[in-house]
Structures are given as C-alpha cells and as structure tokens.
Amino acid sequence: MTESDVQAAICDYLKTRDIWHFRCSVGRKGGYRYGGPPGTPDIIGMYQGKFLGIECKGPDGKLSDEQVVVGQSIRRHGGVYIIAREVEDVVNALT
C-alpha cells in the first residue's frame, strides 16, 4: 500500500467516524513552497477538542527531522500525533 493509499483509507475512516479533517499537501514546486511549513502532518483535524495530526508513511517510509520536531511539538501542546502506516494505526490510537 502506498503512502497515498494510506492517506485515502485514513480519510475514509475519519469520515465514517465524523471526525473533522483534511489532507494537507505540503511541498515545493518551481522553487515555491506550498501547504504548511516543513514537517506539517499529511492529515490535520480535530479529535475530542484536540488538534489531530496524522503523518502517513508507506512500509519503508521514515520521518524527516522536521516531522519528528513537529510531532513532538503537537504532543507537548496537548494534541494528538499519529504516525500511520495503515488505517489500524489510527483506529488503535483513537480508541
């Protein structure tokens, strides 16, 4: 399953749970940065009144240094940060 497949499956799951969320495309094109700052999670939402950040990774994907820092910051400020390689990672984290 590719990272894009994981993102789509997680968004489908969040929709069934009525959890507000959106996919956040982040990157560079033509020398311009779009989306959020480096390390911004792939999926952003709200869960039980808390910021929700979900970083999706394929089977061999690794977090960048920026993603590690952002994840630590989200958790330090009371948010929920999930590293997901499959939908079950999100299901388990939110139950």
At 42-82, the pLDDT tens digits run: 999 999 999 999 999 988 899 999 999 999 999 999 999 99
pTM of the model: 0.91
Range of the domain at 89: 3-93
Strand, coil or helix: 47: strand
Residue with token string 């968004």: 11
Alpha carbon separation from 69 to 40, 64, 66 (Å, rounded): 10, 9, 5
Proportion of the chain above pLDDT 90, given as a percent: 74
Tokens, residue 90: 């999100």
CATH number at residue 84: 3.40.1350.10
* Contacts by 68-73, CB closer than 8 A, 24 or more apart: 68/39, 69/39, 70/39, 70/40, 70/41, 71/39, 71/41
